[in-house]
A and B are shown apart, each in its own frame.
Chain A
Amino acid sequence: MTQQAPSVTAYPVDPLGSPMWEAHARTLFEDHPVRFEPALKLSMPQIAEDQHRFPVALDARGLGEVKRMVIFADLNPIPLAADYRPLAAAPYLAIRIKLDQRTPVRGAAQLADGSWLVSGAWVDAAGGGCSAPPVSRVRGDWAQHLGEIHGGAWPGDAGATRLRFVIRHPMDTGFVANIPTYNIETLSISSADKVLGTMEIWAAMSEDPAFTLMPMAATGATLSIAAHDTNGRDYTASVTAPAS
């Protein structure tokens, strides 16, 4: 009865009616203004054919300066998949996530004034995306390919380079018996000594996580990728930015 009201303004009513909206909004957006924004483009397939590897693309280009981008699934046991800071990059992020059940999947972008734009949709999915063992664990060859990175760079729009890469990693959630949590937790993209983007990553991201980013890089510049996992292992790769 004497409980203090939280010191925040109310969040807008969730158009998806998710039971977890308030809780996630409070954790992620804190006291910043939040609005649902259809112009923040969150693209996903119409069907979750594989609940272990559901592709999501978040495109905040054309909405002003973007400081942070997050992709999360309300009802996943690990809701947040990626928290990306496009320091010198077009605000575009495409990844693949796990889905543990039917859930809202959302993208959010924080503008320079601190306010958050949010977009999302319900996605139907069979259970177990987070609690089934990764394919490479079942096959037993995960360690042989750990850290292999396949990728490339292509000309992008407006001075950006389209950078795509896939890192071989089991991305263990910790929800499978006798397999502790083991995931890539940070990623950074840089050129020369300038950091172009950084990302925090959780095990809600799919096994062999795949990234599509749009760092600003001059033709011929070397783009360096550096990732770090929860066992302290480092992964590095590099590609040359193509002529646009």
Chain B
Amino acid sequence: MILSRRAVLGGLIASIPATAPAIAMGATFAALNYPITPVAIADGVWMVAGADEPIRRDNGGAIANITIIDTPAGTVLVDSGPSLRYGEALKAAAEQLTGRKVIRVYITHLHPDHAMGLGAFPQEIVAALPGTIADIQRDGQGFSDGMYRLLDDWMRGTDLKLPGLPIRTESESFGGRTLRLMALSGHSSADLAILDEHTGTLIGGDLLFHRRAPATPTADLARWRESLGMLDRLLHKSAVPGHGPFDPSGREAIAQTRDWIDWLDQSLTDAVRSGLDMVEAGEMAIPAPLSVMAAGRYELQRSVSHFYPALEGRLLPRIDKV
């Protein structure tokens, strides 16, 4: 059987014409390079935009926004992308852009589209909230398995690594450029938001979604709302959301994220109370102001999966005979 299989394979290869298919195969295998395109958003600050899509093979998992900050002491990155390959491409692109070595990488929260590229950097320069380090320690292997399943070769060489530097201060200065570090929560159990005091740029991590529906796999909506309230009281000038385009107003991303989670909370509660099943709840209409959010249906159906069973347990009365 092995011999005949080899013969079949040999036959297949032999029958491939020499030119055109070779290019097609080359395209398949050589295309696994992440294009890193930093766009200037403020003095010494660039954003690398992620695709406003689910994690898919055709985007290599590069769906989260990354921020590059040029400080006198060296280059600072916020988030590291989904894979070792991304982290390495990001490091090269950022160092070429600023002409300075990367000296600090902040990981805003545990999710793999933000954290799994950190292996491209020395562990001692990768900083995260203590809660985020604990989250990655607990859930990282599961995330890693999921990412390899979805992305296969994009993930090559990516190991589960932990940030080496727990953040215990409220700010950090790099050659006089001060970054304020805010320990918040709600999108996950520990969400880092960063304010670049020199330019007033707020880097919100996944506390902020802009024209892209918020994801809720580890969310606590009440705490998320509190964190958004806190960010709204900041005197920042503009905002980098975790997903979706740069927000020059600094307010639209906050308002959209809050409006979406308020609507989600109320709609899922109403759906359970009015007797809808999970499938039906996932098919409910998304009202006009929120329909601008990319991936809205996808995230709504994910959120139904995250919240519905617990809501049923809380909102539907006991009917068994005790």
Contact residues of A with B, CB < 8 Å? 43-47, 49-50, 53, 55-57, 94, 96, 126-127, 147-154, 162, 164-166, 208, 210, 212, 225, 235-239
Contacts and interface: CB of A to CB of B under 8 A. Distances in A.
Interface of chain A, main secondary structure: strand
A28 B283 CA distance: 30
Contacts of A147: 320
Interface stretch (B68-76, B261-269, B306-314): B306-314
Contacts of A237: 319-321
Interface of B: 54, 145-146, 149, 217, 274-275, 277-280, 282-283, 297-298, 301-302, 304-306, 309, 312-313, 316-321
A148 to B, nearest CB: 6
Nearest to B281: A55
A212 B277 contact: yes
Given A55-B282, A96-B278, A126-B146, A49 B319 contact: no
Contacts of B304: 45, 55
A151 B316 contact: yes
Contacts of A47: 54, 298, 301-302
A147 B321 CA distance: 10
A55 B279 contact: yes
Nearest to B314: A150
B279 A149 contact: no
A55 B300 CA distance: 14
A166 B312 contact: yes
Given A46-B297, A46-B301, A166-B312, A150 B317 contact: yes
A56 B278 CA distance: 8
Given A148-B318, A152-B319, A237-B320, A94 B277 contact: yes
Contacts of A50: 305
Contacts of B274: 154
25 contacts: A43-B280, A43-B283, A47-B298, A47-B301, A49-B301, A49-B306, A55-B277, A55-B278, A55-B279, A56-B279, A57-B279, A94-B277, A148-B318, A150-B316, A150-B318, A164-B316, A166-B309, A166-B313, A208-B309, A210-B278, A210-B309, A210-B312, A212-B275, A235-B320, A237-B321
Contact of B279 (A43, A126, A148): A43
